[in-house]
């Protein structure tokens, strides 16, 4: 039963949707002028699929940025430090989700710059409230990533370059 629930949540189709929403958030925050770095696709699922991290993302305003998100982990530094391991363990799911988001036309990839661009920014209306909440968190993450450099993002999330 629990494994069925995990498979239902952590699947490439849902991952593709969340990566797309994150790219949409980045694109929107840039004034529709910049695509998201490809590396962002490998951070979305490890952050969004963890309930504790997702709750902190949800409780942090988009305008507050990643720095305020980071500061909320003073007493839970281990959770912030776990993102690197989580990203490594979810690498295959992130890769499959990214491939699916490209193949179904949610995003396009500029190979020369490893940049992701949304093909559309319109969110379907038929999403469940749970999926909508995940998509909103992913979009916020993308917007935060656009507000700072890639190096600063990695530093804030305690990621090795």
- 5 pLDDT band (50/70/90 cuts)? very low
Give the whole-angstrom CA distance, residue 149 versus residue 153: 6
Average pLDDT score over residue span 19-47: 95
pTM of the predicted model, to two decimals? Answer: 0.90
With 0-12 / 13-18 / 19 or more C-beta atoms within 10 angstroms meaning exposed / middle / buried, residue 78 is exposed
**Neighbouring-strand partners of residue 115:** 37, 110
Q: Which two tokens stand for residue 99?
A: 């491939």
pLDDT in tens, 50-79: 988 888 888 888 888 887 787 777 777 888
Give the whole-angstrom CA distance, residue 75 versus residue 79: 9
Type and span of the H or E element at 147 = helix 129-147
Q: What is the pLDDT of residue 109?
A: 97
Which of these, 78, 82, 60, 80, lies nearest to 141 by C-alpha position? Answer: 60
Q: What is the pLDDT of residue 161?
A: 62
List the end-to-end C-alpha distance of the chain, in Å, as a whole number. Answer: 37
Q: Which two tokens stand for residue 119?
A: 């093909």
């Amino acid at each position: 039963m629990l494994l069925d629930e995990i498979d239902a949540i952590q699947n490439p189709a849902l991952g593709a949707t969340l990566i797309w929403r994150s790219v949409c958030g980045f694109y929107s925050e840039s004034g529709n002028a910049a695509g998201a770095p490809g590396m962002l696709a490998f951070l979305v699922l490890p952050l969004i699929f963890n309930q504790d991290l997702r709750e902190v993302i949800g409780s942090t305003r988009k305008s507050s940025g990643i720095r305020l998100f980071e500061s909320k982990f003073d007493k839970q530094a281990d959770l912030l430090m776990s993102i690197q391991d989580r990203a490594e363990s979810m690498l295959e799911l992130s890769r499959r989700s990214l491939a699916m988001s490209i193949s179904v036309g949610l995003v396009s990839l500029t190979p020369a710059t490893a940049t992701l661009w949304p093909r559309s920014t319109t969110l379907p209306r038929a999403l469940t409230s749970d999926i909508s909440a995940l998509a909103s968190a992913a979009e916020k993450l993308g917007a935060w990533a656009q507000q700072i450099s890639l190096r600063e993002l990695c530093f804030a999330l305690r990621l090795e370059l």
